[in-house]
Amino acid sequence: MKAIKSWTVSDELWEKVEPLIPKRKREKRRKYKRRPGGGRKPMAQRKVFEAIVYVLRTGCQWKALPNNFGSASSVHKYFLEWKRQGVFVRLWRKGLAEYDDMEGIAWVWQSIDGALAKAPLALEAVGPNPTDRGKKWEQTQSARGRDWNPAIDGRERGAEARRETP
């Protein structure tokens, strides 16, 4: 028996999702003429939805989308367009209503948890940021290193120093 992958979109799920996806609108007065080599034909909406579910379930990057789903940039473009049009909010609401009918949701008592600020004791627990090392002159000297002040005041590098004495 073949295992069903978690990103596979069943026919039953697609029947629920398909009405929520907006249809592409074409202007009736405009005359469309496709030139040879004038770009790709629109992708099938089910294939786009399957690709989006794959990305969301696996957590992969858009550019790492397998080729059998089609162009990653096209899928991402559809995702952004559907997000802007509220497809995923409507899908979430429909799923929530369906779950409420099946199991029942206690709407009276709900709880939410979240944190939007840094933990106040985090610096004490983990210490300073290791990449924030400061400037060179603010650091302590290493055991093997030498001080930046040389032992002698200086030397003459002019013409007199190069002149040999007989």
**In this predicted structure, which of 52-56, 94-98, 112-116, 156-160 has the lowest mean pLDDT?**
156-160
The sign one gets for the Cα dihedral 97, 101, 107, 111 is negative
Q: Tokens for 148?
A: 């930046």
Please tell me the predicted confidence (pLDDT) of residue 2: 63
CB 57 within 8 Å of CB 6: yes
Tokens encoding 94: 């429909």
- Interval 69-89 mean pLDDT: 92
List all residues 6 or more positions away from 46 whose beta carbon is below 8 Å from its beta carbon.
Answer: 9, 14, 18
User: pLDDT (tens digit, 9 = 90+) per residue, 112-162?
Assistant: 777 666 655 555 656 666 666 666 666 666 666 655 555 566 666 666 656
Rounded to an integer, the average pLDDT of 18-44 is 77
Rounded distance, CA 102 to CA 114, Å?
Answer: 28
The predicted model scores a pTM of 0.58
DSSP-derived secondary structure for 106-129: -SSS-------S--TTHHHHH-S-
Q: What is the pLDDT of residues 3-16, one digit of tens each?
A: 667 778 888 989 99
pLDDT at res. 75: 93
The percentage of the chain sitting over the pLDDT mark of 70, rounded to a whole number, equals 61
Both tokens of 87, joined, read: 């497809």
Q: What is the pLDDT of residue 4?
A: 65
Instruction: Name the 3-class secondary structure at 52.
Output: helix
- C-alpha 68/C-alpha 44 separation (Å) is 13
Residue 72 has pLDDT above 60, yes or no: yes
Q: How many residues does the chain have?
A: 166
**Averaged confidence pLDDT in the chain:** 77
- 75, 54 Cβ separation under 8 angstroms: no
